[in-house]
Structure 1
């Protein structure tokens, strides 16, 4: 069975940090985007294995919308 999940990546000097906002505590990292993508996929799969179908349906039933905005500072 295939399930779509939302993941959020951020990049800094040390590489990539990635987390799944729908699954509290489910996060990973990698030196490259691809490594982080592979790592979070594994983390999500392992996380979901610990949940019932009802818990999965409830956790992943949210729509996540992200955007970038410009704000004034100082």
Structure 2
């Protein structure tokens, strides 16, 4: 699955910090912009997987379907 997200990256002294605008909890840091980008990709995966696991825990039946939304 290919999705697009907006990364916000800022520089603070010797470090870069970044977060994903559309995905609360997906944030990271690194010494270079490229390191932050790679770390953010991992953060996105971790947040999505964690959110999914927590959202279906304890339910007897889970229905999963694709949706298209035009914003």
User: What's the TM-score bracket when you normalise by the shorter of the two chains?
Assistant: 0.5 to 0.7
Q: CA RMSD in A?
A: 2.5
Q: Which runs of 4+ in 1 moved over 3 A?
A: 51-54
Unpaired runs of 5+ residues, structure 1, are 63-74
Unpaired runs of 5+ residues, structure 2, are 53-63
Distance in 2 (CA, whole Å) between partners of 1:50 and 1:12 is 29
TM-score by length of 1: 0.63
TM-score by length of 2: 0.66
Aligned pair count?
58
Which has the higher Rg, Structure 1 or Structure 2?
A: 2
Partner SS state of residue 50, structure 1:
helix
